[in-house]
């Protein structure tokens, strides 16, 4: 991706905006040089558009954008990275990659995406150190993968929690990133009788969904066992049961944990096919206790 471009439009401002859009950065992160001023014609004759050279400037986020686009170019991929126009809900800036070959940068369950995000943050904060500015946090997304993955994980968490409610047997999920583990914890935390915790270390850290009994949470988020007036005042919709999922036929569709994880794999088949990775058994069965 070029870091400067020459564009034409009826006005200078329009030409600058067009140039910024083609470079994939906000107008605030570009400067320009006027190569030709617009001229107004007479009765439609003799009109001349403005011509400007637009080039990127700015801080750590633009430096990271240049880094990732150079990487994409060196890999020979048909894809382009752009800065999101605004910060996302947690205050991070977003870099989005789209294109015919973008899926190859996702990796198995987003492993390559996470590694690339780590690298672009290193590039961004090295620039911040050089400029003497504050470090920033960039979130990378590819072909809307994060949103699709989150929806899948939330549905998976609800289905598994219902199974734990029914069988009272804990389920151990596959290793996940901190971001994905937070999604599972968040989705399960208000389901009656079910709790989560994380086990393992480093890249092998995973979530365990366990049966806790008919416990309820107090206002501080702590579990309360048994019935109390404060527990009875908790809105019923916060407690999910099998009946809550009758419309989506969760129990019928997911007869066991392996079916749930199989669907998770299928919903992410784009990254699997691009990287030609062998299928992995995502849910580990419980280890038998030694007698």
Check residue 203 and give its pLDDT. Answer: 81
Name beta bridge partners: 224: 216
Segment among 72-76, 152-156, 274-278 with least mean pLDDT: 274-278
Question: What percentage of the chain reaches a pLDDT higher than 70?
Answer: 69
The beta strand positions in 30-89, using DSSP E, are 30-36, 50-56, 80-87
Domain 147-268 - what CATH class? alpha beta
Check residue 236 and give its pLDDT. Answer: 32
Distance between CA 219 and CA 230 in Å, rounded?
A: 9
Q: Tell me the mean pLDDT in the region 129-152.
A: 88
Q: Where are the domains of the chain?
A: 4-56, 60-143, 147-268
Segment among 34-48, 203-217, 230-244 with least mean pLDDT: 230-244
Q: Is the distance from CB of 183 to CB of 154 less than 8 angstroms? A: yes
Check residue 3 and give its pLDDT. Answer: 63
Each residue of 182-221: pLDDT tens digit?
A: 999 999 988 889 999 999 988 889 999 999 875 544 445 4
Displacement of CA 40 from its chain's centroid (Å) = 48
Higher-confidence residue of 286 and 235: namely 286
Check residue 86 and give its pLDDT. Answer: 58
Check residue 285 and give its pLDDT. Answer: 47
Check residue 263 and give its pLDDT. Answer: 59
Does the pLDDT of residue 248 top 50, yes or no?
no
Check residue 244 and give its pLDDT. Answer: 39
Q: Tell me the mean pLDDT in the region 54-76.
A: 86
| CATH architecture classification, 60-143 | 2-Layer Sandwich (3.30)
Higher-confidence residue of 149 and 232: namely 149
Check residue 225 and give its pLDDT. Answer: 44
Contacts of 4 (CB under 8 A, 6+ apart): 23, 53, 54, 55, 56
Q: Tell me the mean pLDDT in the region 41-61.
A: 80
Higher-confidence residue of 160 and 248: namely 160
Helix (H) or strand (E) holding 97: strand 93-98
What is this structure's pTM?
A: 0.56
pLDDT confidence of 256, banded at 50, 70, 90? very low
Each residue of 88-110: pLDDT tens digit?
A: 655 678 899 999 999 999 998 88
Segment among 124-138, 144-158, 169-183 with least mean pLDDT: 124-138
Average pLDDT, the chain: 75
Helix (H) or strand (E) holding 244: none
DSSP code per residue over 170-226 = -EEEEE--HHHHHHHHHHHTTSTTEEEEEES-GGG-EEEEEE--SEEE-TTS-EEES
């Amino acid at each position: 991706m070029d870091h400067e471009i020459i564009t034409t439009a009826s006005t200078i401002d329009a030409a600058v905006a067009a140039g910024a859009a083609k470079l994939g950065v906000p107008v605030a992160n570009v400067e320009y040089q006027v190569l030709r001023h617009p001229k107004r014609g007479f009765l439609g004759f003799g009109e001349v558009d403005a011509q400007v050279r637009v080039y990127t400037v700015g801080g750590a986020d633009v430096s990271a954008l240049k880094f990732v686009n150079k990487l994409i170019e060196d890999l020979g991929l048909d894809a382009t990275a752009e800065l999101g126009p605004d910060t996302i809900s947690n205050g991070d800036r977003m870099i989005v990659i789209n294109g015919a070959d973008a899926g190859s940068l996702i990796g198995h369950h987003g492993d390559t995406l996470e590694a690339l995000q780590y690298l672009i943050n290193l590039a961004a904060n090295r620039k911040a150190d050089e400029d003497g500015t504050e470090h920033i946090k960039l979130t990378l997304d590819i072909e809307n993968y994060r949103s699709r993955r989150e929806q899948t994980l939330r549905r998976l968490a609800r289905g598994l929690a219902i199974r734990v409610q029914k069988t009272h047997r804990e389920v151990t999920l596959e290793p996940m990133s901190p971001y994905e583990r937070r999604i599972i914890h968040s989705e399960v935390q208000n389901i009656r009788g079910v709790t989560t915790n994380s086990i393992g270390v480093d890249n092998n850290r995973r979530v365990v969904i366990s049966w806790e009994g008919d416990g309820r949470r107090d206002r501080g988020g702590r579990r309360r066992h048994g019935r109390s007036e404060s527990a009875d005042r908790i809105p019923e919709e916060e407690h999910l049961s099998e009946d809550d999922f009758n419309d989506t036929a969760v129990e019928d569709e997911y007869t066991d944990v392996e079916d749930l994880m199989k669907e998770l794999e299928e919903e992410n088949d784009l990254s699997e096919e691009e990287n030609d990775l062998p299928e992995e058994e995502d849910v580990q069965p419980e280890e038998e206790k030694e007698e």
